[in-house]
Each structure stands twice: as C-alpha cells, then as structure tokens.
Structure 1
Amino acid sequence: MATQQLTDTAVKQAAIKEKQYKLSDGGGLYLLIKPNGSKYWRFDYRFAGKRKTLSLGTYPLISLKAARLKLLEAKTLLSDNKDPASEKQREKRQADLDQGSLFSLLAEEWWSHQKGTWKDFHADRVWGRIRDDVLPYIGHMSITDIQPPDIISVIRKIESRDALDVASRVLQDIGRICRYAVQTGRLMHNPAADLKGILKGRKTKHRDSLPREELPGFLEALSGYENQGRLLTKLAIQLLLLTFVRSGELRGAKWEEFDLDQQLWRIPGDRMKMKTDHLVPLSDQALAVIKQIKEISGQYELVFPSERNRFEAMSDNTMRRAIFKLGYDGTTPGKSKAVPHGFRATASSILNEEGFNPDAIERQLAHQERNGVRAAYTHHARYLDDRKEMMQWWADYLDDLKTDTKVIPL
C-alpha cells in the first residue's frame, strides 16, 4: 500500500476555502472539502475503460480509518471484476425492497389501503393511471430519492399527449402516495407538496348557454314548438329548463322515480354522474308539465321514450335539434347558440346573481363536493328546504319572462 499522506489531525483541521479542493490519501482515496465546510470521502477508479467516482460517506461520520476500510472493500470488488458503484446501487435497491421503500411497493401498499373506500371501477381507474403513467418512470426509485424534478418529468410526459386531466389526477396520486410514506415514517418531506402551479392550463370551454336577456325570446319561441315538432320534445325541454338536470338524467327518467304527491323526483345514483342519489324538488309548474307528459307516455316505463322504440330513451340529439330548429343554432342574427346542457349554466348564473345560497345551488346542480371532509357528510337531501324554495322561485321567474320582454329580478 502506498504511503498514507493524511492523518486524523489533518482531516479534522482541513481549512475551508472559497473553492472546493481535495486532500489525497493515496490509492485513489481523497477528502473533498466544500466551501460550506462539508467534507466528503471519494474514491476515483477506472472500470471497463471508464473513469468513475465512488462516494464513501462524509466526515466525521466516516472517519479516516473507516474510509480506508471502505476503499479496501471497493478495491476487492474491482479485483473480482465488479463495479463498486453498481454494487452499491444494487445493495441500496435491495435494502429499499426489504424495507418496502421502493415507490412501486409504496404505491401498491397505498392503493390497497385506500381501495376499500372506493367503488371498484374507481379503484381500477386509479391503479391503471399509476401502473401506466407513473411506475414505468419512477417505480424503481426509492421514495427517499424522488425529488420534485422527477415528478415534474412524469407530469410533462402525460401533458405531451394533451392528457391534461390525467396529468392533474396523476399529480394528485403521486402526492397522496408520498403523503402516505410520510405518515408511515418512510419519508420526511412530501416532494409533491410544493408543485402547485406546475400543471399546464387549458382554456376552459363552456357549454353554449343562453344569456339572461335572451330567455324571454327563447321561452316565447318554445311555446309554439308543437307546430314544428313533437309535443313530447317540447315538454322535455320545458322540464329540463325547470329542473336544470343533466340532459342524460332527464332522458333516462322513469316514472317510478317521481313522487308527485311529495313533488319530488328521486334520481337513483346509478344514473347520476357522481353515482349518488339526487333529489329534485318539483315546482308547481314542473308538476303541471309532468302531468301533461304522463298523458302521453304514462303507459311506458320511460318518461321520454324514443319515437322509434318505446323501450329506449329519447335520443341525445332530439332536444338539441329542436332548439336549433327554434333558431338557437348560432347562425341566426340576434340569437345565441344554445344546447340542452347549457340551461344548467344559465340557471346557475341567474340564481347566484339573485343571492340564493351557493351551496344549495351547487347541491341542486349535483356537483361533486370539492372539500373532502364535507363530501363525506354530503347527503342527497342536503339544503332540501332551501332548494324547494329556490326551484319554485326559478319556475315563477320563468313564468314572468313569458309575459314580459324585460328581465325582472325579484
């Protein structure tokens, strides 16, 4: 062995300089001193014709004697034609595997822990995102090695195929997995916690909806629609206006869902976007429309059966075509483009302007509760009294518009 050049005293008293420098101990071993005072043991060697550097730890955690022992171990591996750096990485991966610290193992553990709280289809969708969009890139990494740039790289790959919604959900998934790692003591800090704002934005596309000032004209045009098309189609649009449910929820309505004595329409969860039951208070005007509809389709299971097949629901395009026939297709001067789903935005905008409880409006729109704690306690009957009052006001307001060319807020 070459004559050793370093002593414990020399290592301990190594001066701090403006630039990093080395103190050699011979045989490729040296102490790297940083301007901030940190001291790192390094070993320079060649393997397969390439120059490499192996980190042996920091001083004083690793003493001069311990560094020399590590140097000897590394040279023993080299004599066996093994790369010390590769062996170190392999040992670390095995340790991570033994401790369950690989991201892939933590992801599966977190998912297994959570899936009992989800519906099967949602659990499958979450795991599918993780399996396809996350694990191929960071699944092999130790949770302690993952840094914000690693996560951003995953997100950018998803965004590159314009799957911005998936990118947003994947960022949430990674954040939840890392938070679980913190909670279970395998990570000190969540690397996804400070990534707010890194997602690419997409210009919001709003459904075509009628402005408030065009409602009177639309209602007047709709009142004479039976001269141009099916009466049942006209009544469907009227009920859609009065209830502002999603068009698919209306078209799939069954007579068994209506309690006309209680003036309530109970839409079962399997027909709702959020998969929970939804109550729609029926105004006096809505009740009158439903009674008209019952005279036409009361003998069928579906409230709005298809004209061609009474066992199938009205087509998605039936109401849309009727609205366009009234001139609201975006090509008629003085008339905006309107679509069935847009009535929800029109109603929401007016009700918010009139000062109704925003939570009652959101509940009536059957929007998903954004706050997780509140969502756990959200019930389909929440704010029901407020909603009954609001729905009757909305129906009365629409009646007022039929006989006035101005919008008259109460």
Structure 2
Amino acid sequence: MPLTDTAIRAAKPQSKTVRMFDGEGLYLELAPSGGKWWRLKYRVQGKEKRISLGTYPTIGLKEARQRRDEAKRLLANGIDPSAQRQATKASILSREADSFEAVSREWFDKHVSQLAPSYGKKVRALFEKKVFPVFGGKHIAEVEPADILKAARHVEESGAVETAHRLVQLCGQLLRYGIATGRCKYDITQGLQGALPKVNVRHMATITDRKRIGELLRAIDAYGGFLPVKSALRLAPLLFVRPGELRSAEWSEIDFENAEWRIPAAKMKMKQRHIVPLARQSLAILNELSLYTGHGRFLFPSMRTDTKPIALESLLVALRAMGFGKEEIVPHGFRSMASILLNELGYNRDWIERQLAHGERNHVRAAYNHAEFLPERHRMMQEWADFLDGLRSTISLPAKRG
C-alpha cells in the first residue's frame, strides 16, 4: 500500500531499522535514532542496487516520488542512476578544481610565493578582492575577455589605472599557467590590449642638476642626525640600490676583501642574487660605521633596537630636514640619478642595467647574471664615486666611456 504523509509522521523509531515501502522500489528507512531516509531499490543487469534520495522531512513524499520517477527514466534509457550521480559529482569536483580561483591559488603556491613577500601578498589581495568575486567560480576555460575587463574596469574606476593594467597582466600569466597544465587553451587577455586607458608613468623624484647634486651631497655630509641614517644616506648615491635593500643590509653580506656587497636573492625584488662593487669611498664609510654598528647584524639598526633596521621613513625625514622637498628627491631617486647621469656620461647601458638589478626575462640567464660585467662594473662604480666627489667639490670630471 502506498505511503501517506500521515503514516510517515506517525511512524515511531523501533529497536531495529524499519523500512516503509511506497512502491516501485521506493521506501522510507526509519533508523532507531529517529532519522528517516528515502531509498530506491532497483536492478541493473540482474544486480540489485540502492541509492539515497534524501532525508525526510527535507524531501517530502511528493518530491521523493518525483526523484524515483527521474531515476526510472534513466534506467529506461540504459543509464544507471548511481553511476550517473557519481559522474555528476566527479564533474562538479573537477569543475571546482579547475575554477579560475582554484587554479589561481595553485599558481600562487607555485610561482607568486617566489616573489618578494610584500609583492606576493599584494597579488593575492588583488585577486581575492577584485577578481574572485567577479568570475572566480567559473571554469578557467570558460572565462571570457569581458569577465577580466569587468574586474579591471572596477579597479580603473577607483582611479588605480596602473593596478587595473597589472590585474590584466596577472590574469594573462595565470591563463598561460592554465594552458601549460592543460586546463585551458587560450590567453584571452591578448584581446584586451587598448581596452584600458594608458598609464601615466610617474618617475621617482630625483635631482640631475650637477650643482644641486653637489649641494645635496654636502648637506648629507653635514647632517647631524642619527649616524646609521646619515651613513645610509651617504651610501645611497654611491650604491644606488633600492631603499629596501639598503636599509636591510647586513654585515655578513659585506666582503671587505673583494670590495663587494653580496645581496642574497631573497632580499632582491626579482629574487636573483646581486653584487654591488664597493668603491674606496663606500669602504671608508663602512669602516667608519662598523665601529658603531659592526657588533650587530644590521649596518643601519633602528634607534630603538638593534634587532631591526631603520625605517624607510627615517631616510625621507632626514632629506626633508636638510631642505630637500618630496618633489625634488626621494630615497628611491638616487637610482634614477645614477641611471640618468651614467648614461649621459656614456657608460655601457648593459653595465648600468645590470648594476641597477633590473629584471632579466630569461630565467636561465638570470640565475647567473649577478656576476655579469663585474670587472667593468667595479671600474664604473669607482669612477662614479670619484665623479660624485667632484660634484661635492663643485668640480665636474670628464665623461668616462665604456
């Protein structure tokens, strides 16, 4: 006799599992704990099988019968409902595993983690806040240019045009990873060129007027503030490394015998080891500084603790105290200063670029280029230090060509 809702509600748990049959293989299984499960019994190639159709009362009698009828239709077409369900579940799991977000997180773990921690954190945050909410759930092969453009436009509308371009570039890198791992076939970002406004390139404030550079160098020499800050500023124009690399310099990285500062790959923006030749002037500053901070880890320890380096802001504050405004010079500007003037002086561009530690696209070559042009760079760095001495004394030296 077919079941009724009244009979199901009135059914009480027994000491053993009880089956209440409705017909055509559908029955309700009542457990001693009180739980009620819909089951369907059927045969495939003479073998008896069972599948669950849900729990009561979430699935009522009417819906349970509908699910039974759907399963019967599959059987009539030679399809095993259980096998169909497993295939559907596998498809869903595969789809989730190959969603844009899932592949992105896999890519983060394999590639973004190799970048500087601060940059890697920014990449993750950009995707989590601006990309995943828009199309992260889509299968990576089904993402369309319009999806990426929509996410990029949201960023652009906030005024961050450069970040919008970076978002498109990063999506392109992710899609190329998807191609390499067989999850998609095309880098659809190629069709987005020109879709976003051009970025207005902002150059770091720097000084290129030679007379004014001389005034800056003399001001640094006369600075009466914290010695590690003064020493860092004295070395900044001589070494022209990135401010973050300068402030975190450690005594263990300084090779006095070979007159080199060997910066580990982990500290570099492009994660490649870098060698900075040290001119006589740089060594003199370091020898003087070692009497003050040489017992500790960092060349430029914080005023509060020698277990941390000085803050970048301390260099900026010192420059302002000397009368040099933010529109004139920033700590990063010493790199631009050296790049512009060394090129003007006629030095080999490859030497300059290698000394600036600009990114190498060829990763195999990049693994070995830390020592590239090293003898030439030693000479260039010494001549650059001599040139700065000339500016400090208001004497312009002749150009030194490579």
- TM normalised by structure 1 equals 0.63
Q: What residue number does 2:267 align with?
A: 271
Contact 1:210-1:346 within 8 A present in 2 as well: yes
Contact 2:97-2:103 within 8 A present in 1 as well: no
Go from structure 1 to structure 2 and tell me whether the alpha carbon gap of 1:177 and 1:100 turns closer, same or farther (over 3 Å shift).
farther
Contact 1:232-1:293 within 8 A present in 2 as well: yes
Go from structure 1 to structure 2 and tell me whether the alpha carbon gap of 1:108 and 1:309 turns closer, same or farther (over 3 Å shift).
closer
Q: What residue number does 2:302 align with?
A: 306
Q: What residue number does 1:212 align with?
A: 209
Q: Pick the aligned partner of 2:372 from 374, 382, 386.
A: 382
Question: What SS does the aligned partner of 1:134 have?
Answer: helix
Q: What residue number does 2:30 align with?
A: none
Contact 2:228-2:300 within 8 A present in 1 as well: yes
* Structure 2 Cα separation of the partners of residues 303 and 241 of structure 1: 16
Q: Deviation string for 1:47-83 (max 9, x for gaps)? A: xxxxxxxxxxxxxxxxxxxxxxxxxxxxxxxxxxxxx
Question: What SS does the aligned partner of 1:119 have?
Answer: helix
Go from structure 1 to structure 2 and tell me whether the alpha carbon gap of 1:202 and 1:212 turns closer, same or farther (over 3 Å shift).
same
* 2:149 is equivalent to residue 152 of structure 1: yes
- TM normalised by structure 2 equals 0.64
Go from structure 1 to structure 2 and tell me whether the alpha carbon gap of 1:103 and 1:343 turns closer, same or farther (over 3 Å shift).
same
**Aligned counterparts, 1:255-266, within 5 A:** 255-266=251-262
* 2:244 is equivalent to residue 248 of structure 1: yes
Q: Pick the aligned partner of 2:325 from 324, 329, 343.
A: 329
Q: What residue number does 2:36 align with?
A: none
Go from structure 1 to structure 2 and tell me whether the alpha carbon gap of 1:172 and 1:136 turns closer, same or farther (over 3 Å shift).
same
* Structure 1 Cα separation of the partners of residues 337 and 147 of structure 2: 43
**Aligned counterparts, 1:93-132, within 5 A:** 97=91, 105=99, 108-109=102-103, 112=106, 115-119=109-113, 129-132=126-129
* Structure 2 Cα separation of the partners of residues 307 and 139 of structure 1: 46
Q: What residue number does 1:195 align with?
A: 192
**Which one-letter code corresponds to 1:388 in the other structure?**
H
Contact 2:265-2:273 within 8 A present in 1 as well: yes
* Identical-residue share of aligned pairs (%): 33
More displaced, 108-117 or 390-399? Answer: 108-117
* Uncovered stretches (5+) of structure 2, i.e. residues with no partner: 1-87
More displaced, 396-405 or 113-122? Answer: 113-122
Shift of 1:251: 2.5
Shift of 1:118: 4.8
Considering only aligned residues, what root-mean-square deviation do their CA atoms show, in Å?
Answer: 3.8
* Structure 1 Cα separation of the partners of residues 299 and 182 of structure 2: 56
**Which one-letter code corresponds to 2:372 in the other structure?**
R
* Structure 2 Cα separation of the partners of residues 157 and 272 of structure 1: 32
* 2:275 is equivalent to residue 316 of structure 1: no
**Aligned counterparts, 1:342-357, within 5 A:** 342-357=333-348
Go from structure 1 to structure 2 and tell me whether the alpha carbon gap of 1:107 and 1:212 turns closer, same or farther (over 3 Å shift).
same
Go from structure 1 to structure 2 and tell me whether the alpha carbon gap of 1:221 and 1:408 turns closer, same or farther (over 3 Å shift).
farther
Shift of 1:140: 5.2
Shift of 1:170: 2.9
Shift of 1:374: 6.0
Go from structure 1 to structure 2 and tell me whether the alpha carbon gap of 1:114 and 1:312 turns closer, same or farther (over 3 Å shift).
closer
Q: What residue number does 1:39 align with?
A: none
Q: Deviation string for 1:139-184 (max 9, x for gaps)? A: 4556666543333223212322334444333323433454456667
Go from structure 1 to structure 2 and tell me whether the alpha carbon gap of 1:183 and 1:261 turns closer, same or farther (over 3 Å shift).
closer
Contact 2:206-2:329 within 8 A present in 1 as well: yes
**Which one-letter code corresponds to 2:168 in the other structure?**
L
Question: What SS does the aligned partner of 1:171 have?
Answer: helix
Q: What residue number does 1:358 align with?
A: 349
Contact 1:104-1:139 within 8 A present in 2 as well: no
Contact 1:133-1:158 within 8 A present in 2 as well: yes
* Structure 1 Cα separation of the partners of residues 296 and 179 of structure 2: 57
Shift of 1:382: 2.9
Q: What residue number does 1:234 align with?
A: 230
Contact 1:267-1:279 within 8 A present in 2 as well: yes
Go from structure 1 to structure 2 and tell me whether the alpha carbon gap of 1:103 and 1:383 turns closer, same or farther (over 3 Å shift).
farther
Go from structure 1 to structure 2 and tell me whether the alpha carbon gap of 1:151 and 1:281 turns closer, same or farther (over 3 Å shift).
same
Question: What SS does the aligned partner of 2:99 have?
Answer: helix
Q: What residue number does 1:403 align with?
A: 393
**Which one-letter code corresponds to 2:342 in the other structure?**
L
Contact 2:108-2:124 within 8 A present in 1 as well: no
* Structure 1 Cα separation of the partners of residues 334 and 352 of structure 2: 14
Go from structure 1 to structure 2 and tell me whether the alpha carbon gap of 1:103 and 1:353 turns closer, same or farther (over 3 Å shift).
farther
Contact 1:281-1:388 within 8 A present in 2 as well: yes
* Structure 1 Cα separation of the partners of residues 93 and 208 of structure 2: 60
Aligned length: 313
**Which one-letter code corresponds to 1:326 in the other structure?**
M
* Structure 2 Cα separation of the partners of residues 261 and 309 of structure 1: 29
Q: Deviation string for 1:76-110 (max 9, x for gaps)? A: xxxxxxxxxxxxxxxxxx79957967895366347
* Structure 1 Cα separation of the partners of residues 175 and 214 of structure 2: 54
* Uncovered stretches (5+) of structure 1, i.e. residues with no partner: 1-93, 331-335
